[in-house]
Amino acid sequence: MNKTELKKNWNKVLSLLPQDQMTRIRIDTWFRPLQPYRLHEEGGVIYFSSPDGDNFTAGLVRRNENMLGPAVEQVFGRPYRIEVRDQKETEEPAGDIPEEGGFFNPRYSFENFVSGPNNRLAVAVCLAVADEYSREYNPLFIYGGSGLGKTHLLHAIGQEVRRKHPEKRILYISSEAFVNEYVNFARTNKMEEFREKYRKLDILLFDDVQFIAGKKETENELFHTFDSLYNAGKQVVFVSDKPPKELGDIPERLITRFQMGMIADIQPPDYETRKAILIKKAEQEALTLDPDMMDVLDIIAQNIPSNIRELEGALNRVVAQGALTGEKITKQLVRKVLTEVFHTKSSEITPTAIKKEVANYFGIKVSEIESSKRSRYIAYPRQIAIYLIRKHTNLSLPRIGEEFGGRDHTTILHSYDKISEEIRLSEDLRKTVDILEHHLTEEFSTETV
Ligand code: ADP
Ligand code: MG
């Protein structure tokens, strides 16, 4: 049984589980992120990798075996044990299991995608490609780091085109699946069929193209597939974790093809975008956005800087943990979960706490720190506060500017650089900053327990 079938069967298993609210949360938080990667007939085991590679999920699965067992048996026709392995130990590459053919994840829609300065261009061109009249972005090449929404966007294009043009032949495939398919068809002398399948497409959505590197024959096949689609005026979208020119091991002629059309990048989201994503996600989960919940979202947004998959994971964990123990979702709970699961030291060092501490230390008012007054006895503490906020929170420069009456981000950067430099030169300032930091972290640690 290949991975795609395995994954399909696993989804069937999940759909057979009871559908009450609690189980639904458990399924989405614990079981759905598990990736089945091998079925061992003789051993009667299905191996799964867990995206966070911890023992937490393995334990949960074991505890829920009496719920999973019957569903597994029903789908697979016999009982299987479920083994969760740390992803690092699994012999196959990590990553999403390709959904072959026409399946798109309904959650990965344009409506559910939050756009921000980090991904605006990519979203704009994806929308244009999904629109029947744009053929100018061909091929479209999107690149960006892991968990930043590349696969989401590919699915969104696919679903949008399918909605508007059900007759169009759309295929989403990842390089891993493409390579496997190529190998299978080649082995069974069915290359004609393979070519037929790919060359009659209207849109090819090709995910994680970087993984094709080094697979000579498949690269060659992709090259010809691309040319025949492109020459027939068909749309091709490539996704990669690197820009074309950094795709070292891929032949030059293929790289040239990647660069022929439009290239758009996705950068890690800034704080506002992270917060907006969490709010959207919370709304989807029908969570009440009361002040407590907003605080919780804020802490997550501040502590998980770059990966949106982790951002969602953190929220899911917090919600599941809350539902499980009946605890109200509070700052304390979120800190506990963040530290446990993400090994992130969740800091309660907020801009407000920093401004208060600094104002207190220098005997001035917070409102003065935030003001535009320029006298040195206020400007200097303000620069120190800016320095501390930049150092201890993940706020973007513009966002820090907002904390100080809408100052320009260049002013913020200047203050930060100035204080960093002075700390190196002045023993006095170093001591001052030490004391401030000590106070701030102490406040945090007494609050956590
Ligand atoms: P990638 O393919 O770049 O590694 P994915 O597309 O798999 O990342 O995204 C990881 C998760 O984050 C998915 O659940 C996706 O829905 C979500 N996600 C990523 N970017 C956004 C965004 N801008 N708005 C909403 N959800 C997002
Ligand atoms: Mg992806």
Indicate whether residue 309 lines ligand 1 (CB < 6 A): yes
In the structure encoding, which two tokens stand for residue 117, read together?
């300065």
Measured CA to CA, the distance from residue 238 to residue 209 in angstroms comes to 7
- Ligand 1 lined by 154 (C-beta under 6 Å): no
Which is it for the CA torsion 391, 393, 395, 401, positive or negative?
negative
Q: How does pLDDT run along the chain (449 residues), one tens digit per residue?
A: 778 888 889 988 988 888 776 677 777 777 887 888 888 776 678 888 876 655 566 767 777 777 888 889 888 888 888 887 755 444 333 333 333 445 788 889 999 999 999 999 999 999 999 987 567 899 999 999 989 999 999 999 999 998 888 888 999 999 988 998 999 999 999 999 999 999 999 999 999 999 999 999 999 999 999 999 999 999 999 999 999 999 988 999 999 999 999 999 999 999 999 999 999 999 988 888 888 889 899 999 988 877 898 899 889 888 888 877 777 888 888 888 887 766 655 556 789 989 999 998 888 999 999 999 899 899 999 999 999 999 888 788 999 999 999 999 999 999 999 999 999 888 889 888 988 887 887 654 433 33
Distance CA 65, CA 82 (A): 8
C-alpha angle 176-180-181 in degrees, rounded to nearest 5: 115
Whether residue 311 has its Cβ less than 6 Å from ligand 1: no
CA of 210 to the centre of ligand 2 (A): 11
pLDDT at 426: 87
| CA distance linking residue 98 with residue 114, whole number of Å | 23
| Distance between Cα 374 and ligand 2 center (Å) | 49
Ligand 1 pocket check for 205: Cβ under 6 Å: no
Q: Is 151 in the pocket of ligand 1 (CB under 6 A)?
A: yes
Which ligand 1 atom sits nearest the alpha carbon of residue 152? 6
Question: Distance (Å, rounded) from C-alpha 199 to C-alpha 227?
Answer: 9
Which ligand sits closest to the CA of 208? 2
Output the DSSP codes for 111-151.
Answer: TTPPP-TTTHHHHHHHHHHHSTT--SS-SEEEEE-TTSSHH
Cα separation, 51 vs 57, in Å, equals: 9
pTM more than 0.75: no
Number of H helices, E strands in the chain: 20, 8
Distance, CA of 350 to chain centre = 24
Measured between alpha carbons, how far is 318 from 327 in angstroms, rounded to an integer?
Answer: 10
Amino acid letter, residue 359: A
The full length of the chain comes to: 449
Q: Which pLDDT does position 252 carry in this prediction?
A: 94
Residue 43 confidence (pLDDT): 67
Instruction: Give me the pLDDT at residue 53, please.
Output: 54
Q: Which two structure tokens, joined as six digits, stand for 158?
A: 């696919």
Cα–Cα distance between 223 and 227 in angstroms, integer? 6
> Which residue's alpha carbon is at the smallest distance from atom 26 of ligand 1?
113
Asked if residues 335 and 447 have their Cβ atoms less than 8 Å apart, the reply is: no
Q: Are strands 81-86 and 45-50 parallel, antiparallel or unpaired?
A: parallel
Distance 207 CA to ligand 2 centre (A): 7
C-beta of 156 in contact with ligand 1 (< 6 A): no
The predicted pLDDT at position 291 comes to 87
Which of 69, 66, 23, 27 has its CA nearest to residue 44?
A: 69
* Spacing of C-alpha 68 from chain mean position: 28
Residue 446: what pLDDT? Answer: 37
Report angle CA 31, 55, 152 to the nearest 5 degrees.
Answer: 45
Shortest CA distance to 94 belongs to which of 28, 50, 154? Answer: 50
What pLDDT score was predicted for residue 41?
Answer: 73
Give the residue from 111, 125, 116 showing the smallest Cα distance to 148: 116
CB 331 less than 6 A from any atom of ligand 1? no
